[in-house]
Amino acid sequence: MDRTERFYKIQALLRQKRVVSMQNLCDALEVSRATICRDLDYLRDRLGVPVFWNAIARGYVLEGFDQESTARELPGVWFNEREIYALLSMIELISQLEPEGLLSTNISPFRDRLNQLLEQGVGNAKEAIRKIKILPMAQRQVSGDYFQIIAMALMSQKKLYIDYYGRRTDEMVSRPVSPQRLVYYRDNWYLDAYCHLREGLRSFSVDAINEAKLLEEKAVIVDDQEIDRVYKSSYGIFNGPSRQVACLKFTPFRARWVRSERWHPDQVSSILPDGSYQLEVPYGEDWELLQDILKQGADVEVITPKSLRDKVQQSIKQMGKLYR
């Protein structure tokens, strides 16, 4: 039985019996008197559990604990070393991925407690965090002020009024939207929302939102199944429901990497006799898929559909003109 398990056991005994002797604790936990004393000191001094020796009752009691009332609750969760390292790793990931520390600020008290538990008990928190590093690729800067407003609208289910810069059209368009969820995708943040201007679900790159105002109107909430149907059924984040399936053939060399990658939840793949890797992915609009294909260079060939194959050929010709 490790220390975390003993803490739970001590809590249960104190709640059930109200008065627990040292001998009861030693028998129940199967540890020495010295270990029990250390555990009780830790519970009282580090975790704030009001456990004290009652000389009259000749046992340990919870001071101020009323079995008929739930007003006083003991700290409900303790973690062992491995669990603390895992949680600190998750918190570090959040702090490095999100802009301006919105989420990490809210969970900083929890992080401080975990650091305290680790450093006072079984490990070195600073050393654990030092070994975690994230290197985002092509991450675009997001305004912390707008991010907080978006998050507030999302959680309070209120509408937003945004000025959004469309990179494809090179235009700024103002519109009211009903936020549905925030998505972190390929090192950047996106807002999935119901656009009241276009009357449909759209994805907005948060870094392209130049103004965001929280409205008092309640947001239109779209059913989760409908959101999944629109965003999960096709390739990438920018596209609507899938209309076609792309069949891609990767060279045996590139297959060593791509066969371990997940391009789409419903992808179908197979290893061909010559070691090539064939991948079939559904998609709606082909813009993002086209970019990923071109990144692979000569290590991939579009087999079908012809329209996608033609676009790849056209892009290659245009690239070739730059290097003549």
Encode the chain (324 residues) as per-residue pLDDT tens digits: 667 778 778 877 887 777 899 998 898 888 998 998 988 888 888 777 788 888 888 889 887 655 444 434 445 455 655 666 666 666 666 666 665 555 656 666 666 666 665 555 545 556 666 666 767 777 777 776 788 889 889 989 999 999 999 988 899 999 999 999 988 888 788 999 999 999 999 999 999 999 999 999 999 999 998 888 887 767 776 666 678 999 999 999 999 999 999 898 889 999 999 999 999 999 988 888 999 999 999 999 999 999 999 999 999 999 999 998
Task: State the pLDDT at residue 46.
Answer: 74
pLDDT in tens, 160-217: 999 999 988 899 999 999 999 988 888 788 999 999 999 999 999 999 999 999 999 9
* CA gap 84, 75 in Å, rounded: 16
Q: Where are the domains of the chain?
A: 3-62, 82-130, 144-231, 244-322
Q: Which of the listed CATH numbers 1.10.3470, 3.30.70, 3.40.1350, 3.40.50 matches domain 244-322?
A: 3.30.70
Helix axis angle for 81-97 and 108-121, nearest 10°, is 140
Instruction: Classify domain 3-62 by CATH number.
Output: 1.10.10.10
Beta strands in the chain (DSSP E): 51-54, 59-62, 158-166, 171-185, 188-195, 200-205, 209-218, 244-250, 268-271, 277-283, 300-304
Pick the CATH number of 144-231 from 3.10.20, 2.30.30, 1.10.3210, 1.10.10: 2.30.30
> Do residues 114 and 88 lie in contact, with contact meaning Cβ atoms separated by under 8 Å?
yes
First to last CA, the chain: 72
